[in-house]
Amino acid sequence: MFDPEVWIMLGRGLLESLYMTLVSTALAYLLGLPMGIAMVVTDKEGIYPRERFNWILGLIINLFRSIPFLILLIMVLPVTRAIVGTTIGTNATIVPLVIAAAPFIARLVESSLKEVDKGVIEAAQSMGASSMQIITKVLLPEARPSLIVGAAIAVTTILSYSAMAGFVAGGGLGDIAIRYGYHRYQTDIMLVTVVLLVLIVQVLQEAGMRLARLGDKRK
């Protein structure tokens, strides 16, 4: 129904979307995972309570989470230019994606780790485990299924954020949808991009849930 060029463009858009999403997710976890761990560990019920630090970190996370992504995208343009050298294209989109997703991931990680039974942590403490050993040998492995579910949520959320980057010529399927569907009234192309996005979300979500179930030894 479309010219071959349109399909090629859609294929490139798909790859760009996946690239932005996966790289952003990986980088956002590099920031968000330690933040989430820090939130749990320094909680007043945590294994290394530091209430003031916890409060400040929580505040920073909330601050970034409360900025709508589209506004954040524009706000961080100078940062993007400083890091990537440009404000358009997929690499430029990764910067705001990471900044937006890291605090969100921190909260996901926090809630996963909080599910770990306090008794198991206490047992590890009674054996003389240090805080670091408790994090690496108890908190993270015991929360693994929940962390994987969280990762599936994170990656699909980041994908939908990445589609918004089309507004600032960020590349990917969202960009195509805006350029063709919004600026040129070519609704059919826009619909195809939406279908493709739905499919990616479906696949990623399902894969995540399956991985989490498979690795869970609780049943």
Partner 1 sequence: MSDDLPIIKIEGLSKAFQGPDGEFFALEDINLEIKSGEIFGIIGMSGAGKSTLVRCINFLERPTQGTVYFDGQNLSDLTKKELYKIRQSIGMIFQQFNLLMQRNVLGNVCFPLEIAGVEKDQAVERAKELLSMVGLSDKTYAYPSQLSGGQQQRVAIARALATNPKVLLCDEATSALDPATTKDVLMLLKDINKNLGITIVIITHEMKVIEEICNRVAIIDKSRIAEVGSVEEVFTRPKTAAAKRLVFPEEHSIEMVPGKRCCRIVFNGNSSFEPIIAGMVLDFRQPVNILFADTKNIDGKAFGQMVIQLPDNELTASRMMEYLRAKNLTVEEVDGYV
Piece of the chain touching partner 1 by CB under 8 A; list 32-40, 137-145, 158-166, 178-186: 137-145
Piece of the chain touching partner 1 by CB under 8 A; list 35-43, 56-64, 126-134, 163-171: 126-134
CA 181 and chain centroid, separation: 26
Size of the site for partner 1 (CB under 8 A): 24
CB of 219 to partner 1, least distance (A): 6
Contact map string, positions 80 to 119, toward partner 1, x by CB under 8 A: -------------------------------------x-x
Q: Look at the block and give the residue holding tokens 């047992």.
A: 123
CB of 204 to partner 1, least distance (A): 23
Q: What are the residues whose beta carbons fall under 8 Å from the beta carbon of 155, sequence distance 6 or more?
A: 21, 22, 25, 204, 208
For residues 124 and 137, is the Cβ–Cβ distance under 8 A?
A: yes
Piece of the chain touching partner 1 by CB under 8 A; list 28-36, 131-139, 171-179, 197-205: 131-139
Q: Look at the block and give the residue holding tokens 């996370």.
A: 61
Q: What are the residues whose beta carbons fall under 8 Å from the beta carbon of 177, sequence distance 6 or more?
A: 163, 166, 189, 190, 193, 194
- Interaction of residue 218 with partner 1, rule CB under 8 A: yes
d(CA 78, CA 200): 31
d(CA 106, CA 118): 20
- Interaction of residue 132 with partner 1, rule CB under 8 A: no
Q: Which residues bind partner 1 (CB under 8 A)?
A: 117, 119-120, 122-130, 133, 137-138, 141-142, 144-145, 215-219
